[in-house]
Amino acid sequence: MTSPPSYRALLAPSGVRLLFAGSALGRVSFGMGPIGVVTLLGVTHGAFGVAGVAMGAYAFGSVVSGPARSWWTVRVGHGRAVLTFALISGAALVVLPAMADRAGPVWAILPAAVAGLAVPPFGALLRVGWAQRIPPEWVPRAFGLDAVMEESAFVLGPALAALALWATGAAQVVVATGIICLAGGLVIARAAGPARPDRQAAASSVRSVGRRLAWLLATFTGVGFTIGGLEVGIPAAAAAAGHPDAAGLLFALMAFASASSALIYGRIGWRRSAQTRFRAVAAVLAVTTAAAGLGAGTLAALAMLVAIGLALGPAVMTGYLLADQLVAGADRTHGAILASVACNAGAGLGAAVAGVTAAARGAAGAFVVCGLVALALTVVGAFLDHLVPDAAKPHRDKDSRPYRGDRNVA
């Protein structure tokens, strides 16, 4: 049995450090954006209704444009695609403060929607590029490190936004978010190299990949549903307990548990298939989320929050790992982007359902409902898997050449 690779070895292949750095920058911008946009529009328009609609338009745009962004990324190559998306999305955020000063809320909502429609797939492109540059047996550990970076970025982003709000203002935070998004795209584009369109890659079908991964996407939507529910349920629970300022600490605790478990999970040589493990951790995540609504007392609530985090990291990591393993060649780009879209769509729906439920039944009801819905989606995923028997079999590439940036071939 060979020893697991060191982190230095994982980052050693050509271009990986640039991919990692660009993805980190992009994800930090994702963490900064919501705080800046919501604060800016809430102050500019005197209410947070416009801010909520703008963020909803951003999330909706990122989901509905997912297949088109995936097709374009394969059609023109990773470097050219991420640069295009970063320019459009970043520019939309940069002009949003100026547009928000104009009369009528549509001027504020439109840039947010454009930014969402063109949101760069920073995480997906990192995972695809990284997996193609290292041996297959190293990929789980690499994805574990990616999960740690993602959690860290989504903790660092809001912290930086809060600091910038205190030091400057909401408009400056939104502009900085757009600039950081563009910087992330530039770094990833440089790592990908010059565009070399590949006709064979361009012929890959987003629809066929979606059918093959239907069970995975359904289960991943459930994982995202719990994430969205937690994003609303945790602040609601903290406010109900009389400590609204504790929400940040609770998120940090969950993020630490999630990142730690993903890091350890990626080091283990599992005997069970990734498919079985994904269903198991997705089910555990759903059950613990529902159970968090039934906990009695502070200690029980904290224990459930840690348990949620311990399941969340491996669930997200395994879902992305399967999206890479179950398809081949250029279809890996489709798989990675569609998996991200499914998770984000679930998060948006989960946040909406949790918000409505929390208003009617409190934070406890939001946890229970979101957990049960996520569990139901996991069951749906298992049913869809039986409809496509070969979908769970890892695809073995005949061509073992390393990743070549914009060619997107294995």
Q: Model confidence over 2-37: pLDDT tens digits?
A: 667 787 888 888 889 999 999 999 999 998 888 888
Q: Which one, of 54, 32, 31, 58, lies nearest residue 42 by Cα? A: 54
Q: Which one, of 330, 329, 351, 347, lies nearest residue 396 by Cα? A: 329
Number of Cβ atoms within 10 Å of the Cβ of 280: 16
Alpha helix (H) residue ranges in 45-138: 49-64, 66-76, 78-100, 106-117, 122-131
Residues 234, 89 within the same domain? no
Residues 216, 151 within the same domain? no
How many angstroms separate the CA atoms of 404 and 402, rounded?
6
Task: Evaluate whether residue 308 is within a structural domain.
Answer: yes
Residue 234 or 368, more confident:
368
**Domain harbouring 328, CATH code:** 1.20.1250.20
Q: What is the pLDDT of residues 80-137, one digit of tens each?
A: 999 999 999 999 999 999 888 776 677 778 999 999 999 999 999 999 999 888 998 8
Q: What is the mean pLDDT of the chain?
A: 84
Q: What is the pLDDT of residue 296?
A: 57
Statement: residue 304 has pLDDT above 90: no
Residues 114, 222 within the same domain? no
Lowest mean pLDDT among 59-63, 161-165, 190-194: 190-194
CA distance readout (Å), 305 to 145, 147, 230, 247 = 22, 18, 10, 12
For residue 33, the one-letter residue type is G
Q: What is the pLDDT of residue 175?
A: 94
Q: What is the pLDDT of residue 280?
A: 94
Q: What is the pLDDT of residue 393?
A: 59
Residues 295, 169 within the same domain? no
Task: Evaluate whether residue 250 is within a structural domain.
Answer: yes
Q: What is the pLDDT of residue 196?
A: 57
Q: Tell me which residue range forms the domain holding 165.
A: 14-195
Can you count the helices (H) and strands (E) in the chain?
16, 0
Structure tokens at 312: 């969340």
How many Å is the Cα radius of gyration of the chain?
A: 20
| Mean pLDDT, residues 335-339 | 91
Task: Evaluate whether residue 4 is within a structural domain.
Answer: no
Residue 106 or 58, more confident:
58
Q: What is the pLDDT of residue 399?
A: 39
Tell me the percentage of the chain whose pLDDT exceeds 70. Answer: 88
Q: What is the pLDDT of residue 402?
A: 41
How many angstroms separate the CA atoms of 94 and 134, rounded?
37
Query: Domain total for the chain?
Result: 2
| Mean pLDDT, residues 319-325 | 90
Of 172, 195, 218, the residue at which a domain comes to its end is 195
Q: For residues 185 and 120, is the Cβ–Cβ distance under 8 A?
A: yes
Residues 268, 156 within the same domain? no
Task: Evaluate whether residue 92 is within a structural domain.
Answer: yes
Structure tokens at 25: 């920058």
Q: For residues 366 and 232, is the Cβ–Cβ distance under 8 A?
A: yes
Q: For residues 336 and 403, is the Cβ–Cβ distance under 8 A?
A: no
How many angstroms separate the CA atoms of 173 and 108, rounded?
15
Task: Evaluate whether residue 7 is within a structural domain.
Answer: no
Tell me the percentage of the chain whose pLDDT exceeds 90. Answer: 34
Q: Spell 191-215 as b/e; 16+ CB within 10 A means b.
A: bbbebbebeebeebebeebbebbbb
Give residue 270's pLDDT band: very low, low, confident or very high (50, 70, 90): confident
Task: Evaluate whether residue 291 is within a structural domain.
Answer: yes
pTM for the structure as a whole: 0.84
Residues 264, 176 within the same domain? no
CA distance readout (Å), 197 to 124, 187, 209 = 19, 20, 20
